[in-house]
Structure 1
Amino acid sequence: MLFQRILTALVLLPLVISGVLYLSTPVLAFLFGGILLLGAAEWMKFAMLEGAGEKALFLVSVLLGMVGAYLLLQVPGSAYWLFLASSFMWLLITLAIVRYQPERSPVPGRFTKSLLGILVLVPAWAALISLHGYSEDGPLLLLFAMSLTWVADSGAYFAGRQWGRVKLAPLISPGKTREGVYGALAGVTLWGGLLAWLRPEIGVPYLIVLFCLLACVISLVGDLFESMLKRQAGIKDSGNILPGHGGVLDRLDSLTAVAPVFMFGLLLLGGGR
């Protein structure tokens, strides 16, 4: 499993980095749209949709949501409110995870889970595209946002395997440990410190590190949220398209949470550009 995980990462990372750095924003929007539609197909397992009609309606709704988000982003100032709303939704999801108790927490129905899928996937796609086209440094900003989730995930994975003892959220994801979280936080702290050292013009070092730590926490929330949905649906992975990683959503669960929050923070610091 570890060998497959590393091999898949070695194949995908150069492709992702090259695409982000060298493709135009419209082309990347199309490619990301296709990837997130694959994620939407996996989300149908979470929502336990039945029949071709329900599944087709969901996929069309996600696609129309992307078109609507693209049109909305053409309106000056609308991006700020879109990503504010998405960040607020992730705050509510965080509270729901903290308070989660299987015997007391109601399991959302198919419609609610389908709506959640749209509210998770569409803003994530819009944030990825907005980050890439934000400025001349947009591709680097997008890569940095992505790298935060990679570093957090890798830190949690290896620290958890080596030292993991105390369960983090056994009712949601029995495999995750507090030691894994510490590994993720340590990795992201070092990554943020390296960024502050290499690019001191970006801002005050401790603020950069704090921002990276916030992204790490949001990354964890995205991971736990998918784990909760998989547990409710009675499945282990969202899919099997990526050897060693599972499905598309197993690889993008953290990024779907981090991207809109990261973009909102960028807009907030930039005065709602």
Structure 2
Amino acid sequence: MKTRIVTAVVAAALFLPIVFYGGLPVVLLTYLLASIGLYELLKMRKLSLFSVSGLLSYLLLWVILFPSQYQDVLAYLNYSKMELGIAMVLLLLTYTVITKNRFTFDDVAFSVLAAVYVGIGFYFFMETRQAGLVYIFYSLFMIWATDSGAYFIGKAMGKTKLSPEISPNKTVEGSIGGIVCAMIIAALFVFLTDIDATLWSLLGITLFLSAFGQLGDLVESALKRHFNVKDSGKLLPGHGGILDRFDSLLFVWPLLHFFHII
């Protein structure tokens, strides 16, 4: 527990000032976090980072991450993100032939989906920060409340397993408790901040975001169980890897835009 707390304090001390500042430092931080996240996924699959396929996977990720405020660069090159992304996928498929199927179609599918999974989530982190600090803090506090509520209420009252095949310790009662705690946070944001949402709309959206945040957690748990690893990485002592810390938020940040809260 002491290690978890120390790691959390140090990580917050590094993460929050950059988020407050915004701009290019947030872009650089996002590229760093997403690149580590993709490394963690490729390592689970035992795909080499230092290879042609690894490089192409990273190029695809970096294309997906390319921020909207710098789109003029792509316009100058006369290419779109979609065109560059398609080029990376075609090159990955071509690599299966070059390697005589040592790098398989399944490996291509995993590499592409891994880049999309990590890239979309972190891309919308940048978009959320661009919309305003209040939305970043709403997402962070909402997920922290969901996780804490699910843990403590599940420990006190949990009886019905939520998904025993994937995450044996999670319970339906804990999940509902996490959603309730997240909705309390949402109400506080309506009354105490300038978030652009009414009470009832934010409560309704928070219900879905909290539930989908828990699904994001289960998705990463399913990945780890499939590849028989305990944590996605070891970068954060007591917490695991980058994906272990951001799995819920990778689902929440895109959905903030999907639900038009921003």
TM-score (normalised: structure 1): 0.75
Larger Rg: 2
| CA distance 1:240–1:200, change in 2 (3 Å) | closer
| CA distance 1:13–1:154, change in 2 (3 Å) | farther
- Confirm whether residue 205 of structure 1 aligns to residue 204 of structure 2: no
Q: Sequence identity, in percent?
A: 28
Contact 1:159 1:183 in 2 (8 A): yes
CA-CA distance at 1:235 after TM superposition: 0.8
Deviations 1:113-137 (A, max 9, x none): 2222111121222211111122xxx
- Cα distance in 1 between the residues matched to 2:195 and 2:32: 36
CA-CA distance at 1:257 after TM superposition: 0.7
- Cα distance in 1 between the residues matched to 2:49 and 2:130: 38
Superposed, 1:83-162 pairs within 5 Å as 109-134=106-131, 138-162=132-156
- Quote the residue 2:99 is aligned against: none
Q: CA RMSD in A?
A: 2.7
Contact 1:167 1:174 in 2 (8 A): yes
Superposed, 1:227-238 pairs within 5 Å as 227-238=221-232
Contact 1:158 1:180 in 2 (8 A): yes
- Quote the residue 2:64 is aligned against: 65
- Quote the residue 2:166 is aligned against: 172
For structure 2, the 5+ residue unaligned runs are: 75-81, 83-104
Amino acid at match of 2:135: L
Deviations 1:117-174 (A, max 9, x none): 111121222211111122xxx1221221222222212222232333333211111221
- Cα distance in 2 between the residues matched to 1:170 and 1:262: 29
- Quote the residue 1:97 is aligned against: none
| CA distance 1:72–1:167, change in 2 (3 Å) | farther
Contact 2:134 2:193 in 1 (8 A): no
Deviates more, 1:175-184 or 1:241-250: 175-184
Deviations 1:232-261 (A, max 9, x none): 111111011112211110000011111111
**Secondary structure at 1:109's aligned position in 2?**
helix
CA-CA distance at 1:202 after TM superposition: 3.4
Amino acid at match of 2:166: I
| CA distance 1:190–1:51, change in 2 (3 Å) | closer
- Cα distance in 2 between the residues matched to 1:139 and 1:37: 23
- Confirm whether residue 37 of structure 1 aligns to residue 42 of structure 2: no
**Secondary structure at 1:176's aligned position in 2?**
strand
- Quote the residue 1:87 is aligned against: none
Contact 2:138 2:189 in 1 (8 A): no
- Cα distance in 1 between the residues matched to 2:244 and 2:217: 8
Contact 2:134 2:194 in 1 (8 A): no
**Secondary structure at 1:168's aligned position in 2?**
strand
CA-CA distance at 1:31 after TM superposition: 1.1
For structure 1, the 5+ residue unaligned runs are: 76-81, 83-107
Contact 1:40 1:121 in 2 (8 A): yes
- Quote the residue 1:93 is aligned against: none
- Quote the residue 1:47 is aligned against: 45
Number of aligned pairs?
233
TM-score (normalised: structure 2): 0.78
- Quote the residue 1:220 is aligned against: 214
- Confirm whether residue 24 of structure 1 aligns to residue 18 of structure 2: no
Contact 2:67 2:123 in 1 (8 A): no
Amino acid at match of 1:57: L
CA-CA distance at 1:211 after TM superposition: 1.2
Amino acid at match of 1:44: L
